[in-house]
């Protein structure tokens, strides 16, 4: 069996007010916490200024941590159309920043993330945080947004491993 090199994955939980981010390293089936945090924007500022803050901060994170791949949580649609639209703006920036420097970006729905990390798509925020702490000792998790971003990265790690195994199996057939 061929051993793959370790990779760094960036998980992003987009939001216009708070965008969570988390970086993990995956080596085989081992996960290692590298960093996590939250990018905050000032709600008193106009949306374009807030999007620039988000883009600039993500660009700095990409330069500092140099992930090989990124994963972004998909937008859920809620009853407040304006809030959903603003979340979409932030998500667009979260998808664009890594793509601009050639990093592959994948997307996962919230239920898929929860199922991958906790084992049930209906897990609570507390359950997600508890499992992230268990899977990634040393994670600071100052806000739920950072835990959610690390959960996105963990979800991507699991799905990535499955995709690679399937690809290897299909090449051998």
Q: Which one, of 128, 127, 150, lies nearest residue 140 by Cα?
A: 150
Kind of pairing between the strands at 7-13 and 69-73 = parallel
CA distance 146 to 43: 19
- pLDDT tens figures, 95-116: 999 999 999 999 999 999 999 9
Residue 27 a catalytic site member: no
Burial pattern 31-56, b for ≥16 Cβ within 10 A else e, equals bebbbbbbbbbeeeeeeeebbebbbe
Q: What is the pLDDT of residue 109?
A: 94
Active-site position among 25, 36, 73, 148: 73
The backbone region for 141, taken as left when phi is positive above 0, alpha when psi lies in -120 to 50, beta otherwise, is left
* Cβ partners under 8 Å of residue 45, min gap 6: 53
- For the chain, domain boundaries: 7-172
Residue 13 a catalytic site member: yes
Active-site position among 13, 25, 36, 69: 13
Please name the fold of domain 7-172.
Nucleotidyltransferase; domain 5 (3.30.420)
35: confidence class by pLDDT, cuts 50, 70, 90:
very high
Q: pTM (2 decimals)?
A: 0.91
108's enclosing H/E stretch is: strand 105-108
Active-site position among 25, 36, 69, 145: 145
- pLDDT tens figures, 50-81: 999 999 999 999 999 999 999 999 977 677 88
| High-pLDDT (> 70) share of the chain, % | 92
Residue 63 a catalytic site member: no
Q: Which residue has the higher pLDDT, 157 or 166?
A: 157
């Amino acid at each position: 069996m061929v051993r793959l090199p370790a990779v760094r994955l960036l998980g992003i939980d987009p939001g216009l007010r708070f965008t969570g981010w988390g970086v993990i390293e995956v080596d085989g089936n081992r996960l290692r916490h590298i960093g996590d945090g939250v990018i905050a924007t000032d709600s008193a500022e106009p949306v374009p200024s807030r999007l620039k803050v988000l883009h600039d901060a993500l660009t700095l994170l990409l330069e500092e941590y140099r992930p090989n791949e990124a994963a972004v949580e998909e937008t859920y649609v809620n009853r407040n159309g304006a809030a959903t639209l603003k979340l979409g703006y932030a998500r667009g920036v979260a998808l664009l920043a890594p793509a601009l420097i050639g990093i592959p970006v994948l997307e996962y729905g919230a239920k898929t993330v929860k199922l991958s990390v906790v084992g049930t798509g209906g897990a609570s925020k507390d359950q997600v945080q508890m499992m992230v702490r268990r899977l990634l000792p040393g994670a600071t998790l100052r806000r739920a947004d950072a835990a959610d971003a690390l959960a996105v990265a963990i979800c991507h790690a699991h799905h990535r491993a499955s995709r690679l195994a399937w690809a290897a199996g299909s090449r051998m057939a």
